[in-house]
């Protein structure tokens, strides 16, 4: 029996050509695996058929949208995951999901190899290969674009020679990766970092500068999981879709940044993630209400590290697991409602209520009748400032 | 000779009454000290005369706006200081400046005491007293509002009895603290955290929801210090004023949050800080371009701790000093221009250029002819993912 | 019915006098609560009778040694908890245990108050009161030594006047706190930090400088819990006792340091904790073998924060809970044996073996036939060093 | 003119053979560079002559011991640098020094290449190449042992064929790297991590188990730099040498650990670093006396990161530079004397005195007449414990 390769298949030119390319290069049979992470576009059946038409011996397609929402997007939300304080890890979240399905398909189809279509200067190659190293280290990885010269020009030539059922004339100036949680755009003119993005690069969000009526929305969380919008109970997938729609309509979630790639270089990235950005804003504000101060302060560092690890391709790693334990525990009481105004590119919390609130009107109010014992303050300040005071006396003495 | 008290004097009802109140309570002479941190309002001479009219033996006024901009706001900007990722430390920055002037005045006027008008449940009492403990620990602190019953009602009664030249009929529903770097508003109806703020609470910012033309601005930094706007060289004070004006006109910098006070409770705060928020956004993006990845990652933790320390009243402390050393060093190359669009409450960087840029088009481009050696990636990934891979093999073995 | 006070009772002079002192001061009935945390000394029944003889209406005694070992010492071990890298938190661990029993007794006996014998300049007052604030915030706290003038001299006079059954003539120059996990000694001559400790201050450890034969011991851990010594299965309590005995006999675990107290001052402390120090050394080395690198690096920061929180009296706090989740997860695979030599004050791991080991002889060996693919190194180094290299090129360009 | 290679030359078999090997492989001229970092052994002139005899066109030797002590070991001491809490970075400190000299020699001799003798599974290859990437990125790196098959067997054969003046019969079972700051030993039987080290592997330290008289020593620091021993002013080099001698004679500084290598695997390492370990112990204790609490707590994290960076080969990196700024500032007042007992493998501080001490006997003493205001404690505790208390009330309410 021939060896088998499972290929992360998108339906596009590169991976369609890769089916035949890999088969010729290795003599192995190719099993194409296409995963729906909410990227939209073609129907999964169409993609499946194309894989077969391009020479795959098997083509596996899976609607993993709920799984993606629940097991990848929700943990990111609970960690307020924003790489470099900006980017909600859109592509970085979907790669481990795809890896998990690739590993499962490889086991099911007795594959000895796995292939992806990433180049050698991006983060995704690391996310694929580090994930596979953790989940199925025995697989040999093929990366034809990076390692065996499958350039775009050669892909077009290959497709034309073989008469593959792919439209090679469609030529977008944009390189796009998108899923339920957001969308990334790269294109030549944005590689000049002084150039601003143009309206044409966006698809998930309307122009925030256009005039329209504000939209007010109430998001409900239960232990850090979004469970309802405007009082209507929804699955995490539905919440994200709904918030993509409504926040996107108000231009929320556009990001334009220079980013530190794992592979050692800085790159210019343009993203849009309307639902993610709005939901993180709501979640953070609910944390402000329900998470105790010391925990909140420490959690910022944990959240940052969580985001770096996931960005860096280490989703399946011992540190990620242990941070998940912390983050889940910290979200135990992040339950309640946040009311937000979505408008003009902004998602702004304006109200919050929670059965688990740590905000205590009686303690906080400046009205008469508050319950805060102000006489304690003097003692607190005396002890609080003592170390710096003693150090200051020392400094004076020494200088 | 009588003992002397230096009083942090604002010109308002509470501290005007405090002059006589303290004099009667202690038998000491009161030296009023009023500092212009850019809070606007009355002329310093008017404030000075009122202090004298209220019984101060001396009244010191100082225009400290440049000092505030250069020595307090700029370091905050270099640390991207946002307490709880939101609040640019407006009041927390001005208190150590005022403390410094109080300590100087106390030395000059041979005072043995110092007084402030803070209550016992806010952060500012800590900032005053911790700062004074560091700069002039021998001074005894008087806090008549907190410790000796100087309530608002008693202040009004005192002012009327003594015929003090203060208009006690003006009654704002808002408790406001403002300076060059921003403005804080507290008021009764916002103590219900489900209530949203109304337009009336804002003074530094226009309604972001109003339609208007976007404003494009280029901010120039030199080693992390803002030095020009639209190519025109300005002092830090001028930059902040200009950005307050322009970002404020576009509704940038409104903040509505539940906040962890140092004194152990959560409170609802509404801020506006148009210049601060716009400048921090620009500074962060210029850091993205000019600061190396590992340094940038570590700096986030330093920035957070810097903000907590300053919020917590520990401006004059050994840790703050040592963090300043780090932050200054990290800003060494944060030099260049950031172009931003100010519009609809957003301050969005759209372009950046820098002689110290670490972004390298030749490495980053996906065009042919790039200089990145993609063949290195495989080795990198292999080593990068090895610890998690070995752990994963172990986990499989153990389970 | 009278109000009731539960008193943290040690059996010593101060708290014995406090029974009557509090009764007279408050008119309340005193319930004495004495907890055995492994401090040794008198029998619990003797202590119980003394409390009754001194006027307690009830006297509760509890052997909490297993609970202390399992729920307080073991978590500390899993966090390698060493405050300031030295002190294994001996007293800081027992206070929350005592607080838990006090709160239970207060509920059972319908007490409205709780009392402790701490002074106003130590850490233990904070640990008692912060713990009680978390577990039973409605209780009013009495601290007669700190707040109502129960000095040692007045305690002696009180005891003599009332004829209490306490020997007031015993006068130790040492102030001692000890339990299963170690022993703390304070005494006048050590308050001169240039003075070294003398042999007389130690009780848990023999002089490390004396000549004796080394002792070799194998400690077994299961998921970070010590479960056997020299192959013999033991409870955590038994392991700690055994290691106290054997490591103590070799002079292991003496600590002499200047320490940062929570209450803002530095103090000189002398501790001995033979079992704790030996077990932490073994646990750390087993972590070196079984915990993945990134997790191990991050865990050091978590461990430090865990120790600070516990030292600072915040055992019962949301951050402590969330860190516990992390630490437990990180210990999942800390299973195996560590062989140590105990000798001359040192506890030195010399061998380790584990079914969960991440050490791979085949990868690590320099012998021929290793499985490490050295050709990957070049690619790794190229990418690894790229950010610093690009920054260095920039620095050269700028200078 | 021929191209030139600068070679990091040790005088041993591998790098002696590398001279001819590289010359043959590349056609380039080899300039050998040997640096004295205090590793002892042969005279520099002997090494220089051997390089020439083996075919080097130039041989540069430099006594860099003072430079190593002052610019590499002292910063490590100020950062209490212990990788994984144990290893004082011995080899990791010398590599950047050697790199600096290699880069200088390359510039002076117009070399276009640089060569080292490291294998592909250790850390040193990274330290060499990352350092060179920062200091002289244009140089091409040759690593004949790793990349072109220069195994030990082939080196011996090459040496014999060419008649190189090297004794190839000396065959030590140990692979050793040593310098002023310590010594690392690797050997086959230690690759079984259950095996303990034998006395034969040690050279810098006597057996700690042997009976001998304790040695008492006073080390003086000025701003974190060791400047005297027993009152005698010495250079840093002299201090380290003296402490190596005296602490080594007492068996101080042996380390046996499983370590996380940068290249992704765990390895067993045995080190001895008597001076380093004793000096770090002294420095830490002087920090305990002179560094304020918040600064000390944050510095532990900085110290850990500093050690990781240096271990990881990133000495010449922006983050390392910025951390240096912090560490230097934190050491500003680390001035004074620490008295230690050196005995039986332990270096134990027993006394400390400092003009910059933050220890205040008047505040700390339990004697009557202390100046600490205990009445402040109640207010402090009330505010300190409030967040956890409010959270606890919430938890009770929710459960």
3-state secondary structure of D160: helix
How many percent of chain B have pLDDT more than 90?
90
Q: Search chain A and give the residue with CA nearest D372.
A: A383
Cβ of D184 under 8 Å from any chain B Cβ?
no
Check CB contact of B46 with chain D, cutoff 8 Å. Answer: no
Contact D388 C133 (CB under 8 A): yes
**Residue C350 pLDDT class (50, 70, 90 cuts):** very high
pTM: 0.97
Domains of chain C: 4-171 (3.40.50.620), 176-291+333-353 (3.90.1260.10)
pLDDT of residue C122: 93
Q: Is the pLDDT of residue A187 over 90?
A: no
Lowest mean pLDDT among B259-263, B366-370, D88-92, D178-182: B366-370
What is the predicted pLDDT for the residue at B399?
81
Does A124 carry a binding-site annotation? Answer: yes
Instruction: Considering only the beta carbons, identify the residue of D294, D382, D390 that sits closest to A358.
Output: D390
* Confidence (pLDDT) at C243: 98
Residue A225 CA from chain centroid, whole number: 16
Q: Cα separation of B254 and C270, whole Å?
A: 53
Residue C36 parent element (H or E):
strand C29-36
Q: Which of D358, D375, D380 sits opposite A384 (nearest CB)?
A: D380
Binding residues of B for ATP: 8-16, 117
- Check if C396 contacts D (Cβ < 8 Å): no
Looking at per-residue confidence, does D249 or B187 come out higher? D249
How distant is the Cα of B379 from the closest Cα of chain C, in angstroms? Answer: 4
D171 pLDDT more than 80 = no
Q: Who among D260, D295, D386 is closest to B264 (CB)?
A: D386
Separation between Cα atoms, residue B375 and residue D15, nearest integer Å: 28
- pLDDT tens-digit map of C274-320: 999 999 999 999 999 999 999 999 999 999 999 999 999 999 999 99
Q: How confident is the model at residue B326 (pLDDT cuts 50, 70, 90)?
A: very high
The one catalytic residue in B43, B63, B175, B360 is B175
Helices (H) and strands (E) in chain A, counts: 15, 14
* Chain D interface mutation, best of B318, B371, B387, B394, highest count of D Cβ atoms under 10 Å: B318
What is residue A79's predicted lDDT score, i.e. its pLDDT?
98
- In the structure, what pLDDT confidence band is assigned to residue A363 with cuts at 50, 70 and 90? confident
Mean pLDDT on B254-283: 97
Question: At residue B55, does pLDDT exceed 70?
Answer: yes
Is a pLDDT exceeding 80 seen at residue C170?
no
The string of pLDDT tens digits covering residues A256-313 is: 999 999 999 999 999 999 999 999 999 999 999 999 999 999 999 999 999 999 999 9
Residue C167 sits at the chain D interface (C-beta within 8 Å): no
How far is CA A370 from each of CA A18, A367, A376, rounded to the nearest angstrom? 70, 6, 14
Beta bridge partners of C170: none
Kindly indicate the confidence band of residue A369, based on its pLDDT and cuts at 50, 70 and 90.
low
> Higher model confidence: residue D155 or residue A375?
D155
Annotated ligand binding at A14? The verdict is: yes
Could you tell me the pLDDT band of residue C362, with boundaries at 50, 70 and 90? confident
Given this model, what pLDDT does residue A126 score? 96
- In chain A, what percentage of residues exceed pLDDT 90? 89
Residue A169 confidence (pLDDT): 76
Q: Is D94 a catalytic residue?
A: no
Q: ipTM of the predicted structure?
A: 0.96
Whole-number pLDDT of residue A279: 98
Which of C134, C288, C292 would you mutate first to test chain B, the one with the most B CBs within 10 A? C292
Given pLDDT bands bounded at 50, 70 and 90, which one contains residue D375? confident
Contacts of A265 in chain C (CB under 8 A): 386-387, 390
Q: Which residue has the higher pLDDT, C130 or A168?
A: C130
| Per-residue pLDDT, D94 | 98
Size of interface B-C (CB pairs under 8 A): 78
Mean pLDDT of chain C: 95
Mean pLDDT across chain D, nearest whole number? 95
Mean pLDDT, residues A135-144 taken together: 96
More confident residue, D334 or C398: D334
The mean per-residue pLDDT over the stretch B348-362 comes to 95
Q: Least CB-CB distance to C385: which of D121, D133, D392?
A: D133
Q: Name, in order, each residue with C-beta under 8 angstroms of C150's C-beta and a sequence gap of 6 or more.
A: C14, C17, C18, C21, C117, C144, C158
What's the confidence (pLDDT) of residue B239? 98
Between CA A247 and CA A182 the distance in angstroms is 12
- Whether the per-residue pLDDT at B235 is higher than 80: the answer is yes
B170 pLDDT exceeds 80?
no
Average pLDDT over residues D249-274: 97
CB atoms within 10 A of CB A371: 10
Measure in Å the smallest separation between the Cα of A393 and chain D Cα atoms: 9
Q: Is the pLDDT of residue C369 over 70?
A: no
Minimal Cα distance from B394: which residue of C?
Answer: C356
C298 near A309, Cβ under 8 Å? no
What integer pLDDT is reported at residue D64 of this predicted model?
98
Determine the residue of chain C that is closest to D321 in CA distance: C388
Task: Please provide the average confidence, as pLDDT, over all residues in chain A.
Answer: 95
Task: State whether C398 and B333 contact (CB < 8 Å).
Answer: yes
Give pLDDT, residue D313: 97
Sheet holding A182-187, edge to edge: A174-179, A182-187, A266-272, A254-260
Residue C225, H or E segment: strand C225-229
Arithmetic mean of pLDDT, A114-140: 95
Average pLDDT over residues C70-98: 98
Question: How large is the angle between the packed helices D293-311 and D274-290, nearest 10 degrees?
Answer: 150
Instruction: Give the C-alpha separation, A318 to C329, whole Å.
Output: 9
- B contact test, residue of D140, D319, D358, D382 with most B CBs within 10 A: D319
Is A320 in a helix, a strand, or coil?
A: helix
Q: Give the Cα separation of D15 and D26 in Å (integer).
A: 16
> What subunits touch chain D, counting only 3 or more CB pairs under 8 A?
A, B, C
The average pLDDT across B28-48 equals: 96
pLDDT above 70 for B369: no
Residue C352 φ/ψ, nearest 5 degrees = -150, 140
Predicted confidence (pLDDT) at residue D36 exceeds the cutoff of 70? yes
Taking the Cβ of residue A294 and every Cβ of chain D, the question of whether any pair is shorter than 8 Å is answered with: yes
Residue C368: its pLDDT value, please?
Answer: 65
Each residue's pLDDT tens digit, B189-212: 999 999 999 999 999 999 999 999
Choosing from C4, C95, C183, C254, the catalytic residue is: C95
Give the chain A residue whose CA is nearest to the CA of C319: A295
How confident is the model over C100-124, as a mean pLDDT? 96
| The predicted structure's pLDDT at residue B373 | 84
Interface size, chain A vs chain C, as Cβ–Cβ contacts under 8 Å: 81
Q: Is the pLDDT of residue B167 over 90?
A: no
């Amino acid at each position: 029996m021939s060896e088998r390769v499972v290929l992360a298949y998108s339906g596009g030119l590169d991976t369609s050509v890769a089916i035949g390319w890999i088969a010729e290069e290795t003599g192995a049979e190719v099993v194409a695996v296409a995963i729906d992470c909410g990227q939209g576009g073609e129907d999964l059946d169409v993609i499946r058929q194309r894989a077969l038409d391009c020479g795959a011996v098997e083509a596996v397609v899976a609607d993993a949208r709920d799984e993606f929402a629940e097991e990848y997007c929700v943990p990111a939300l609970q960690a307020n995951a924003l790489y470099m304080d900006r980017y909600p890890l859109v592509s970085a979240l979907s790669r481990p999901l795809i890896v998990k399905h690739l590993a499962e398909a490889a086991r099911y189809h007795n594959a000895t190899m796995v292939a992806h279509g990433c180049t050698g200067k991006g983060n995704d190659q690391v996310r694929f290969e580090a994930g596979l190293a953790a989940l199925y280290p025995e697989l040999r990885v093929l990366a034809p674009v990076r390692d065996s010269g499958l350039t775009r020009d050669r892909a077009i030539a290959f497709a034309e020679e073989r008469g593959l059922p792919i439209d090679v004339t469609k030529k977008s100036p944009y390189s796009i990766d998108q899923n339920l949680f957001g969308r990334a755009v790269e294109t030549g003119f944005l590689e000049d970092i002084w150039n601003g993005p143009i309206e044409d690069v966006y698809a998930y969000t309307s122009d925030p500068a256009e005039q329209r009526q504000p939209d007010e929305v109430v998001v409900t969380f239960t232990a850090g999981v979004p469970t309802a919008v405007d009082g209507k109970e929804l699955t995490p997938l539905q919440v994200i879709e709904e918030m993509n729609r409504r926040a996107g309509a108000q231009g929320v979630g556009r990001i334009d940044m220079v980013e530190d790639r794992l592979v050692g270089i800085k790159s210019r990235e343009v993203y849009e993630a309307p639902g993610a950005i709005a939901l993180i804003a709501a979640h953070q504000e609910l944390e402000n209400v329900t998470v105790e101060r010391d925990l909140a302060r420490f959690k910022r560092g944990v959240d940052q590290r969580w985001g770096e690890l996931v960005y860096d391709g280490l989703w399946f790693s011992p540190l990620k697991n242990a941070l998940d334990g912390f983050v889940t525990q910290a979200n135990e009481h992040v339950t309640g409602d946040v009311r937000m105004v979505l408008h003009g590119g902004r998602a702004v919390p304006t109200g919050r209520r929670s059965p688990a609130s740590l905000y205590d009107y009686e303690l906080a109010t400046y009205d008469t009748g508050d319950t805060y014992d102000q006489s304690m303050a003097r003692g607190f300040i005396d002890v609080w400032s003592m170390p710096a005071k003693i150090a200051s006396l020392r400094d004076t003495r020494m200088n």
